[in-house]
Amino acid sequence: MAPSLDFSNWWPKDARKGTPVVVKMENPNYSVVEIDGPDAAFRPVEKSRGKNAKQVTWVLLLKAHRAVGCLAWIASLFWALLGTIKKRLIFRQDVAMASEKLGKGKLLFTVIKAFLVTSLTILAFEVVAYLKGWHYFRNPSLHIPRSTDIQGLLHLVYVTWLSVRADYIAPPIQALSKFCVALFLIQSVDRMILSLGCFWIKYKKIKPRIDGDPFKSDDVEGSAYEYPMVLVQIPMCNEREVYEQSISAVCQLDWPKDRLLVQVLDDSDDESIQYLIKAEVAKWNQKGVNIIYRHRLVRTGYKAGNLKSAMSCEYVQAYEFVAIFDADFQPNPDFLKQTVPHFKDNPDLGLVQARWTFVNKDENLLTRLQNINLCFHFEVEQQVNGVFLNFFGFNGTAGVWRIKALEESGGWLERTTVEDMDIAVRAHLNGWKFIFLNDVKVLCEVPESYEAYRKQQHRWHSGPMHLFRLCLPAIITCKIAIWKKANLILLFFLLRKLILPFYSFTLFCIILPLTMFVPEAELPVWVICYVPVFMSFLNILPSPKSFPFIVPYLLFENTMSVTKFNAMVSGLFQLGSSYEWVVTKKAGRSSESDLLASAEMESKIMNQLQIQRGASESELTELNRLKEQKEAAPVPVKRVNKIYRKELTLAFLLLTASVRSLLSAQGVHFYFLLFQGVTFLLVGLDLIGEQMS
């Protein structure tokens, strides 16, 4: 067949005119030409013009000029880059501004750096491969592996990994797991004993009681002389959301006005908040309440420094007891009448601690999980230690101290961030006894955001270890019973403050996930399932409504052990974050019944009390100005709860490892997975309801 010559692509196809003509010849011995149009055959052909040497020279000079300009631009760009690097790395200019801009995009910046390092590594490998001649497949020295060679190599690597895993990796993991399991069992026995003690207290109805009426309320004329002098302190720092409700609740305490003094200890560095608190204090002062506003010029020592500065006032010597409330606490009007009488005829009693109750415990899943822990802490740990040992850690608020006990124990010290636990330990070493009142409850808040809760837990777990280093010599040399020393060192500090976060982090966050890759070190089912679930049942008993959240509670506690372990290490070795205090963010919530009671009480006070002293025109002007500033203050916006990827990933990793270990037990994994599915269904409905509200 003769080759075809098709010239249809040499000109635009839309220029067709007329009818195509096809010429055919019989017995052709050459190709047939198809004419697509009548004008196509007669189109003139453009002839290329020849170029002389002068034109070629100008073209070459123009290209050389462009190349030189490109090189000059690259050189100037490289020089500017070197100048920027010199300013940022050597002279440290614009570093702060850049760090602020990169604060939110830190993760993206890390990914970019990792991609850059990977690209440079691959580029270096490609350069070496090119120089070695590996890119030529016809190179006789280049060996191209076949699929069988690759399979054999992978098999060899896998067999080597199995032998190394069984001989070198599994034995250390097994030894560490046995040690952690022993600690886990010791801590579980301690928690079980505390729970049995709580059951015994409930069964025998053991609780501190007040004999008779210590105030002789029938004698109206002389009743005021039976009331001791009480000092109430409200330490706060930039508490815009909760200052008003705390001051209002304290000023409504049912106690003779001439036997009560309220100290508002404000450490705020925001002048607008200072003005608002001053206005609130002035309002209650006009109603006849004996209240004082104090602001430190030198703010050192956090809360301990604030309380120490307030106790150094001369007028404090006239008072016998001091009650302390944090800024978000709202005591009932009869709080002092339920706590102070326990000191009568009990000269060895140094502290009366009340229980916390939470107004926002049902706000979200995080607050529900916190409520489980805190209910067990107060109803089991604090109550049992108070009944059987007369000692427990002071919670820093909602408690009444005998001022003599504070003074003989050394007062408030600024050496640690857990000043409440510090003064409790020193008072116990000086022979003072404590009472915990589980029936007296004070309303407060728990953190609603994970960020605030994590910072609070870091302080609560780093401070005790820092305090343990400071108090250990005093505990050893103190002249108290040996069993009290053993209780302080072994149980109070080591078991509940050091061993608990250590084994929880090591056993459930390191060893348990490793068992997925090292099955030779697999943990027994009773360590993974039975004992943790049983201990979780004991934790949830003080708050039975939280039973549907047992599985999220288990995962939450195990993943939070990362933060607690980090805090414990920083406090034990006095790292930089061991003396860090971040004020916990509050939302300023109050229940509807509390708001109605507060409004009713305030109206009753306004009707019964008369203003004892008039205010001048300048004072009224100042109060009006402060009131206007308060009304113009921005309303705090509720922050959406953040879910951190690290903790969430670790939680699902622990869940996967637990399920994998449970699959080996017949008849266990099905019920566990069924219970887990129902639980997460309830949690999902709870979160959906929260979002809809």
As annotated, the active-site residues are 267, 420
Q: How far apart are alpha carbons 589 and 367 in whole angstroms?
A: 13
Q: How far apart are alpha carbons 259 and 562 in whole angstroms?
A: 48
Q: What angle do CA 381, 382, 388 make, to 5 degrees?
A: 90
Taking the mean position of all CA atoms in its chain, how far away is CA 57?
73
The torsion angles phi and psi of 432, rounded to 5 degrees, stand at -80, 145
Among 372, 538, 359, 542, residue whose Cα is nearest residue 441 = 359
What are the CA-CA distances from residue 374 to residues 208, 361, 368, 383, 463 (Å)?
Answer: 21, 11, 10, 12, 18
Among 532, 447, 518, 534, residue whose Cα is nearest residue 164 = 518
The torsion angles phi and psi of 238, rounded to 5 degrees, stand at 55, 45
Cβ-based neighbour number of residue 657 at 10 Å: 22
Among 436, 577, 555, residue whose Cα is nearest residue 504 = 555
Please give the structure tokens belonging to residue 477: 């040399």
Number of H helices, E strands in the chain: 24, 9
Cβ-based neighbour number of residue 228 at 10 Å: 17
Taking the mean position of all CA atoms in its chain, how far away is CA 218?
52
- DSSP one-letter code for 88: I
Which residues, in sequence order, are bridge partners of residue 401? 322, 351
Q: How far apart are alpha carbons 427 and 392 in whole angstroms?
A: 11
**Residue whose structure tokens are 């706000």:** 363
Measure the CA dihedral 537/538/540/542, to 10°: 150
Q: How far apart are alpha carbons 549 and 681 in whole angstroms?
A: 10
* Radius of gyration, CA atoms only, the chain: 39
How many CA within 13 A on the CB side of residue 456? 14
The helix/strand/coil state of 330 is: strand
What are the CA-CA distances from residue 343 to residues 90, 224, 600, 631, 660 (Å)?
Answer: 66, 17, 31, 43, 56
Please give the structure tokens belonging to residue 270: 């925001």
DSSP H or E segment with residue 443: strand 433-444
Q: How far apart are alpha carbons 396 and 464 in whole angstroms?
A: 13
Please give the structure tokens belonging to residue 380: 């089991």
Among 237, 264, 273, 397, residue whose Cα is nearest residue 330 = 397
Kindly give the residue spans of alpha helices, DSSP state H, lying in 377-499: 383-388, 403-408, 419-429, 450-477, 482-486
**DSSP string for residues in 290-342:** -EEEEE-SS--SHHHHHHHHHHTSGGGGG-SEEEE--TT-B--TTHHHHHGGG
Q: How far apart are alpha carbons 46 and 10 in whole angstroms?
A: 12
Please give the structure tokens belonging to residue 400: 């009444």
Cβ–Cβ under 8 Å, residues 356 and 374: yes
Cβ–Cβ under 8 Å, residues 167 and 521: no
